[in-house]
């Protein structure tokens, strides 16, 4: 089988798979960003129990292997009467993982600001809210652009977890396993298509992130 | 002349860092237009003292009064009081993501609610006064240390402070930049600004200050006019300290 | 990444006054209650679904269970260790090729590095599991999992090494060249050894990624921790409990590795270079 035949037979499935991968990536990343902000707020708050829960959340989800988390969400939760559709299982797992790393990125961004600027903001009479909205958050967001770009790419790669549960339509990795299992003489063709798609999107996202970073980076 | 209320007054102020007694029964008052210089060996508590005046450091006991009013402990009242006292830090602490102009206008616009064009006009005037108006549209990292510190002074002045605190303003500067910052401070003192200055610049202390306060181990050991202090120090600690800096 | 995450978080809120202290106390009490309720709800859910029954937990008291889990853990460590070592070598080779100054070689290394960084490790594993056998290449399960994990890590490591080489002060190479060392010798004798020392914390933290990637070993039926967990489940029916315990084991191991890398970073003063901190392109 050559590329033309592969595309004739599976072209539509590939387009669907690309759409699945990209849309899951977008949805998961968006939700993960919101969650990261919430978790980070908890972690920097002066409320001890919230801090502990936030820290624990990050330690659990940055250290658990994605596959183990997916298996728990997809196969263990139903025993606890929590039943999610397959796709939602993948998305929950990806969001939990990505939000832990997202919060770490925000923390790093906050740490980079330094105590001095916050004291300076206080001493010209800014209130806590003004210090946060005028000094801390803008700088944390700007310095998070590059790490978050990397996280976005990592999120896309993590959606490959979708290959471990029956999705319909499938995403890029699951489709490869589907095609290769059916066409026993197809060789490496399906892999190269998916791999090029992943690597291509990674490079594109990276370039976009770099371009944004160049415009907003805080020079120190 | 009737005794005016001091701009800054500290009564029996104590502070500990764990087992370390960093401020011990500090009594101090700074009158309007006075320039008070705090000197002493590192770890003597002079920076901590300076930072307690606008509550960047809390105190354990005692009282701090600003124009006779107790220093508020939190909230809007504290923010308002801080807006009235300028602070210049050792490491400048300019807002890294804002231009020089925006650094100076942020306080007036956010705190005093000054209209943008008025705030910018005044900021440009202040930047010109400290000699960095040409850098107004750059960001802090593009300026030299001396320039950044002068911007920091302009940022404080933009709030029309009643008094200004200087926490080792020249200690982080290369030698050739120290004078450009000191000159701005001398000018401020001449115009009658009330100033508390923590510094190692003895010439500045001698030329400009009304009073020198010598601290060691969290205590005020000695205070007096610059001539008294530098020519006839009373305490052994002060003599040793002056010898050690003159030795170099 | 989180070498110093504690100082700034305290600086955001200044020392509280009496009103703030009271408010903090009240919110703390409320949040404590909410956390307790949350934990209660989880335990209740376990209880009403029968997952707390002794029959699902008692086999954890048997030494044979733990022997089996330990066996799987050894399998995981074996894959991780060999994949890590392989990735180390490949990563250095890719970095050397990329910084060699020979255009085609450096271009090829660049493409290969970006490829392995830009492709999910699962896809690489399917490549070794499904595609290669179609060409009659039959490799043992161990290598079917170890090779793709190593390849995926090598791309990231190549970038870590490159960052390490860049972190060696320029003067070192200039001094070496000026005493007559060849560029090759300068790299191998002077720059690379120092770069390696700089990246030690980063390499340790990268081990976490390798350990995580090994969990897919069940795809190729290699007896790692995850695969042994699956076997244990078919024998005990205790799916929730086994996955729960195994997940905690993974988390603890990775947490320990992360802490070690943070400790090394603090001790040596060298930052942890990770995927998230490096340039994405």
pLDDT digits (tens, 9 = 90+) for A127-186: 999 999 999 999 999 999 999 999 999 999 999 999 999 999 999 999 999 999 888 888
Rounded to a whole number of angstroms, the distance between the first and last alpha carbons of chain A is 56
Q: What is the C-alpha separation between B156 and B140, in angstroms, rounded? A: 16
Quote the pLDDT of residue A1. Answer: 66
Q: Which of the other chains make 3 or more beta carbon contacts under 8 angstroms with chain B? A: A, C
pLDDT digits (tens, 9 = 90+) for C10-59: 889 988 999 999 999 999 999 999 999 999 999 999 999 999 999 999 99
| Nearest-Cα residue of chain B relative to residue C18 | B73
ipTM over 0.90: yes
Question: Average pLDDT, whole number, for chain C?
Answer: 91
Q: What is the C-alpha separation between C120 and C109, in angstroms, rounded? A: 19
Q: What is the C-alpha separation between B231 and A44, in angstroms, rounded? A: 52
* Contact yes or no for B52/B23 (Cβ under 8 A): yes
Which residues lie closer than 8 Å to B191 by C-beta, 6 or more apart? none
Other Cβ atoms closer than 10 A to B205 = 22
pLDDT digits (tens, 9 = 90+) for C91-131: 999 999 998 889 999 999 999 999 999 999 999 999 999 88
| Nearest-Cα residue of chain B relative to residue C20 | B74
Domain count within chain C: 1
Would C205 be classed as within a structural domain?
yes
Distance of CA B148 to the CA centre of its chain: 16
CB contact (8 A) between residue A68 and residue C226: yes
CB contact (8 A) between residue B111 and residue A122: no
Query: How large a percentage of chain A has pLDDT more than 90?
Result: 87
User: Is C89's pLDDT higher than 60?
Assistant: yes
Structure tokens at C176: 């070496």
User: Is C249's pLDDT higher than 90?
Assistant: yes
* Contact yes or no for C119/A195 (Cβ under 8 A): yes
Short-list B19, B65, B12, B14, CA closest to B218: B14
| Minimal CA separation from B73 to chain C, in Å | 5
pLDDT digits (tens, 9 = 90+) for B174-222: 999 999 999 999 999 999 999 999 999 999 999 999 999 999 999 999 9
Contacts with A46 from chain C: Cβ below 8 Å: 13, 16, 24
Quote the pLDDT of residue C256. Answer: 97
pLDDT band at A7 (very low <50, low <70, confident <90, very high): confident
The helix (run of H) or strand (run of E) holding residue B8 is: strand B8-17
Short-list C139, C135, C120, C153, CA closest to C222: C139
User: Is C1's pLDDT higher than 50?
Assistant: no
Q: What is the C-alpha separation between C175 and C165, in angstroms, rounded? A: 15
CB contact (8 A) between residue A173 and residue C122: yes
User: Is C278's pLDDT higher than 60?
Assistant: no
| Minimal CA separation from A177 to chain C, in Å | 7
Quote the pLDDT of residue C269. Answer: 85
Domain of C105, in residue numbers: 62-272
Q: What is the CATH number of the domain that holds C141?
A: 1.10.3720.10
Short-list C83, A31, C199, A126, CA closest to B105: A126
In this complex, the residue of B91, B107, B141 whose CB is nearest that of residue A124 is B107
Would C163 be classed as within a structural domain?
yes
* Contact yes or no for B225/B210 (Cβ under 8 A): yes
Q: Hey, of C10, C11, C14, C22, which one would you mutate to test binding to chain B, going by the most B CBs within 10 A of its CB? A: C14
Short-list B85, B79, C14, B56, CA closest to A130: B79
Residue B35: beta bridge partners? B195
Q: What is the C-alpha separation between A74 and A86, in angstroms, rounded? A: 7
User: Is B1's pLDDT higher than 60?
Assistant: no
Quote the pLDDT of residue C8. Answer: 80
Would C174 be classed as within a structural domain?
yes
**Strand, helix or coil for residue B211:** strand
Q: Is B18 on the interface with C (CB under 8 A)?
A: no
Sheet holding B211-216, edge to edge: B85-88, B163-167, B194-198, B35-39, B211-216, B219-224
Q: Hey, of B74, B96, B105, B139, which one would you mutate to test binding to chain A, going by the most A CBs within 10 A of its CB? A: B96
Tell me which DSSP letter residue B58 carries: -
CB contact (8 A) between residue A124 and residue B82: yes
| Minimal CA separation from A133 to chain B, in Å | 11
Which residues lie closer than 8 Å to C169 by C-beta, 6 or more apart? none
Q: What is the C-alpha separation between B69 and A73, in angstroms, rounded? A: 60
Q: Hey, of B15, B64, B74, B82, which one would you mutate to test binding to chain C, going by the most C CBs within 10 A of its CB? A: B74
Q: Which of the other chains make 3 or more beta carbon contacts under 8 angstroms with chain C? A: A, B
pLDDT band at C279 (very low <50, low <70, confident <90, very high): low
Would C211 be classed as within a structural domain?
yes
| Minimal CA separation from C54 to chain B, in Å | 50
Would C56 be classed as within a structural domain?
no
Residues 13-32 (C) with a CB less than 8 A from some CB of B = 14-20
Short-list C109, C194, C104, CA closest to C157: C109
Quote the pLDDT of residue B48. Answer: 96
CB contact (8 A) between residue A219 and residue B96: yes
Contacts with B89 from chain A: Cβ below 8 Å: 116, 119-120
Say if strands B163-167 and B61-66 run parallel, antiparallel, or are unpaired. Answer: unpaired
Tell me which DSSP letter residue A217 carries: P
User: Is B158's pLDDT higher than 90?
Assistant: yes
In this complex, the residue of A118, A150, A198 whose CB is nearest that of residue C119 is A198
Q: What is the C-alpha separation between C74 and C82, in angstroms, rounded? A: 12
Dump the DSSP string for A130-161: HIIIIIIHHHHHHHTHHHHHHHHHHHHHHGGG
Say if strands B163-167 and B194-198 run parallel, antiparallel, or are unpaired. Answer: parallel
| Nearest-Cα residue of chain C relative to residue B77 | C17
| Minimal CA separation from A145 to chain B, in Å | 14
Question: Average pLDDT, whole number, for chain B?
Answer: 95
Would C138 be classed as within a structural domain?
yes
* Contact yes or no for C206/C153 (Cβ under 8 A): yes
CB contact (8 A) between residue B58 and residue C19: no
Q: How many residues does chain C have?
A: 281
Q: What is the C-alpha separation between B120 and B98, in angstroms, rounded? A: 14
Maximum CA pair distance of chain A?
Answer: 72
CB contact (8 A) between residue B107 and residue A138: no
As a whole number, mean pLDDT of residues B107-130 equals 97
* Contact yes or no for B54/B213 (Cβ under 8 A): no
Q: Is B16 on the interface with C (CB under 8 A)?
A: no
Q: Is C171 on the interface with B (CB under 8 A)?
A: no
User: Is C5's pLDDT higher than 50?
Assistant: no
Quote the pLDDT of residue A151. Answer: 95
**pTM of the prediction?**
0.92
Question: HEC string of C206-267?
Answer: HHHHHHHHHHHHHHHCCCCHHHHHHHHHHHHCCHHHHHHHHHHHHHHHHHHHHHHHHHHHHH
Quote the pLDDT of residue C4. Answer: 37
In this complex, the residue of B56, B58, B75 whose CB is nearest that of residue C19 is B75
In this complex, the residue of B82, B93, B96 whose CB is nearest that of residue A125 is B82
Would C20 be classed as within a structural domain?
no
pLDDT digits (tens, 9 = 90+) for C154-176: 999 999 999 999 999 999 999 99
Would C51 be classed as within a structural domain?
no
């Amino acid at each position: 089988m050559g590329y033309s035949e592969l595309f004739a037979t599976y072209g539509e499935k590939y387009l669907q798979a690309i759409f699945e991968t990209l849309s899951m990536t977008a949805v998961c990343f968006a939700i993960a960003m919101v969650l990261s902000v919430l978790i980070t707020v908890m972690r920097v708050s002066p409320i001890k129990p919230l801090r502990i829960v936030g820290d624990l959340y990050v330690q659990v989800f940055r250290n658990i292997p994605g596959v183990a988390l997916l298996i728990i969400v997809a196969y263990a939760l139903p025993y606890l009467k929590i039943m999610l559709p397959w796709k939602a299982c993948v998305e929950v797992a990806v969001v939990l993982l990505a939000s832990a790393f997202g919060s770490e990125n925000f923390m790093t961004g906050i740490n980079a600001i330094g105590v001095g600027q916050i004291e300076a903001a206080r001493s010209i009479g800014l209130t806590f809210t003004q210090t946060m909205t005028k000094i801390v958050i803008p700088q944390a967001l700007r310095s998070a652009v590059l790490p978050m770009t990397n996280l976005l790419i990592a999120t896309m790669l993590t959606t490959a977890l979708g290959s471990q549960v029956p999705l319909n339509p499938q995403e890029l990795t699951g489709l490869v396993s589907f095609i290769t299992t059916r066409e026993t003489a197809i060789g490496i063709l399906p892999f190269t298509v998916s791999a090029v798609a992943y690597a291509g999107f990674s490079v594109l996202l990276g370039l976009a992130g770099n371009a944004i970073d160049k415009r907003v980076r805080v020079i120190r | 002349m009737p005794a005016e209320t001091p701009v800054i007054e500290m009564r029996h102020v104590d502070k500990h860092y764990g087992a370390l007694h960093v401020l011990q029964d500090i009594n101090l008052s700074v009158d309007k237009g006075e320039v008070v210089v705090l000197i002493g060996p590192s770890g003597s508590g002079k920076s901590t003292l300076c930072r307690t005046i606008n509550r960047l450091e809390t105190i354990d006991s005692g009282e701090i009064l600003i124009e006779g009013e107790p220093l508020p402990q939190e909230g809007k009242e504290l923010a308002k009081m801080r807006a009235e006292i300028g602070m210049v830090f050792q490491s400048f602490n300019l807002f890294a993501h804002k231009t020089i102009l925006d650094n100076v206008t942020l306080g007036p616009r956010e705190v005093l609610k000054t209209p943008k064009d008025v705030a910018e006009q005044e900021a440009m005037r202040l930047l010109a006064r400290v000699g960095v108006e040409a850098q107004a549209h750059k960001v802090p990292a593009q300026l030299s240390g001396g320039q950044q510190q002068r911007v920091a002074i302009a940022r404080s002045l933009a709030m029309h402070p009643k008094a200004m605190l200087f926490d080792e303003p020249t200690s982080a500067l290369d030698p050739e930049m120290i004078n450009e910052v000191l000159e701005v401070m001398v000018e401020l003192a001449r115009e009658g600004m009330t100033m508390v200055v923590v510094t190692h610049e003895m010439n500045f202390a001698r030329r400009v200050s009304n009073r020198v306060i010598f601290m060691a181990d969290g205590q005020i050991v000695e205070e007096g006019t610059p001539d008294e202090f530098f020519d006839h120090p009373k305490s052994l600690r002060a003599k040793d300290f002056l010898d050690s800096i003159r030795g170099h | 990444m989180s070498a110093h995450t504690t100082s700034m978080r305290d600086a955001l809120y200044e020392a509280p006054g009496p009103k703030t202290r009271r408010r903090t106390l009240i919110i703390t009490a409320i949040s404590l209650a909410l956390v307790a309720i949350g934990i209660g709800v989880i335990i209740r859910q376990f209880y009403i679904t029968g997952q707390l029954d002794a029959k699902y937990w008692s086999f954890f008291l048997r030494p044979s269970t733990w022997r089996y889990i330990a066996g799987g853990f050894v399998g995981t460590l074996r894959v991780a260790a060999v994949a890590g070592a392989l990735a180390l070598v490949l990563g250095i080779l890719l970095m050397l090729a990329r910084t060699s100054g020979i255009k085609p070689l450096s271009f090829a290394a660049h493409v290969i590095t970006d490829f392995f960084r830009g492709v999910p490790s699962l896809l690489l594993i399917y490549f070794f599991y499904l595609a290669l056998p179609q060409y009659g290449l039959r490799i043992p399960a161990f290598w079917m999992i170890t090779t793709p994990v190593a390849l995926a890590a090598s791309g990231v490591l190549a970038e870590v090494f490159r960052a390490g080489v860049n972190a060696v002060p320029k003067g070192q190479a200039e001094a070496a060249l000026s005493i007559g060392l060849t560029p090759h010798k300068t790299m191998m004798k002077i720059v690379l050894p120092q770069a390696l020392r700089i990246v030690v914390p980063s390499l340790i933290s990268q081990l976490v990624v390798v350990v995580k990637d090994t969990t897919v070993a069940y795809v190729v039926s290699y007896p790692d921790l995850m695969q042994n967990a699956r076997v244990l489940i078919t024998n005990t029916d205790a799916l929730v409990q086994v996955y729960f315990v195994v997940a905690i084991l993974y988390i603890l191991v990775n947490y320990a590795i992360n802490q070690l890398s943070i400790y090394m970073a603090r001790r040596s003063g060298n930052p942890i270079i990770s995927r998230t901190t490096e340039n994405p392109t």
